[in-house]
Structure 1
């Protein structure tokens, strides 16, 4: 299947995404693209962890996930946030199905580092046939990033990494990270375009840090001959399609490639 667009919506932006944003996703579908949404849910998870007095910490931009933390993460991502996104897309006129990565073994994972991170999984395989079957029926899949290993154990998956894995498996032509910042910032200014080589330098000098690390690493892992650029954009500021362009940072394989969003 061609013209697949994977859109990762950060948890910090979901509650503030406008009706225009969701309509822009449907417009992509009407124009012949096949959108897939992968979402996070950090702020909601933090709220529920605090409510239940469960301690949580981040290691290298990833949430350390104990069994107790996982129970809350799965409840929030699959039960609350996923259905919120599904509802908003359906209210905008879309035909939508919400899934967790456990449904149909959609996201098959292995532990990243059980001793260091607990139940944090890395995607090893994606059930692309399931997603294609849904898209062929005109359905927009909305994916909560909880995965499962061969033994049936559930794992928290970084949503950026999950989106990248889905994009790689399906040979997507577009990958967009919708977040609460304009893109990669250097000295307070948003960088319009950066190459893979520049990304490594910015990580080394501390320009890229914290929650942006998983995004850029996921972007770099996704760049292929089919998908040669990845966009990081502010979901609070614009929609995906606005006069054919969006404001944000485009990560490219080489300096002469630009991301076209139409």
Structure 2
């Protein structure tokens, strides 16, 4: 049984962090293995609800790549990628839309709402939240990026005490639907809302000198240090888009970006509410 005095001391130790973040916006990009493993998913949901009940305004942006792949194979479509970006023709876009908006989004909303009326599911299409533009001039390419965000609906939902859960698809003024990288969407929303933090839940511990050695984790990094690590190829491959997104949002007054391993139980709470943290924190 936990010693009651120790319990009170632990609560008191996190109270300054709680006071700092009450009323602030934190954008969580949710993906990776933590979305596939049901036990980890429940922990993520519990963490988000706990932060929400503390008075922190949480927005969840999700992808769903592995689930999209499963459904593509069911439909006899082989997933294809180029430079890490899913090749999205019209047929693939229909599957992406179905999985992200209809399956993944509603599953997360349902899990959050098991405990009360907390969450509401959206995509970039709802109330033209996200205005996309195509990434290429190919008319059969449905991959887009964010041109502009209209944060009005999100501010309204946050102020009314809801947790927006956002799928990373959007449509333009002609109704054409685009598949957008969820990291890109999370970054764009963090900038538009002037978020306190953007947190990437990933399958890696953060930025490490040696990706095979978790004890080489770099817990605190500034933009100049990040650029030096990119130059020396310590940051490479799939981490580059995340750190580029991080640098972009930090320059738009987001206070910090965190890259954490969603496979660590209660990683969100450990990163936000403890001074030791568990991932990499990036700042200007």
Superposition pairs of residues 1-262 of structure 1, within 5 angstroms: 3-16=24-37, 17-93=40-116, 95-115=118-138, 118-187=141-210, 188=212, 189-224=216-251, 226-239=253-266, 240-242=268-270, 244-245=274-275, 246-253=277-284
Distance 1:225 1:165 in 2: 10
Counterpart secondary structure, 1:185: coil
Distance 1:125 1:231 in 2: 23
Contact 1:182 1:234 in 2 (8 A): yes
Give the CA deviation at 1:213. Answer: 2.7
TM-score if structure 2 supplies the norm length? Answer: 0.82
Give the CA deviation at 1:232. Answer: 0.5
Q: How many residues align?
A: 253
Contact 2:105 2:165 in 1 (8 A): yes
Distance 1:148 1:248 in 2: 34
Which is further off, 195-204 or 175-184?
Answer: 195-204
- Cα 1:9/1:228, change in 2 over 3 Å: same
Instruction: Point out where structure 1 has 5 or more consecutive residues left out of the alignment.
Output: 254-262
Distance 1:123 1:209 in 2: 24
Contact 2:33 2:263 in 1 (8 A): no
Distance 1:204 1:58 in 2: 26
Query: Aligned-residue CA RMSD in angstroms?
Result: 2.2
Between structures 1 and 2, the one with greater helix share: 2
Instruction: Point out where structure 2 has 5 or more consecutive residues left out of the alignment.
Output: 1-21
Structure possessing the higher radius of gyration over alpha carbons:
2
| Alignment-derived partner of residue 9 in structure 2 | none
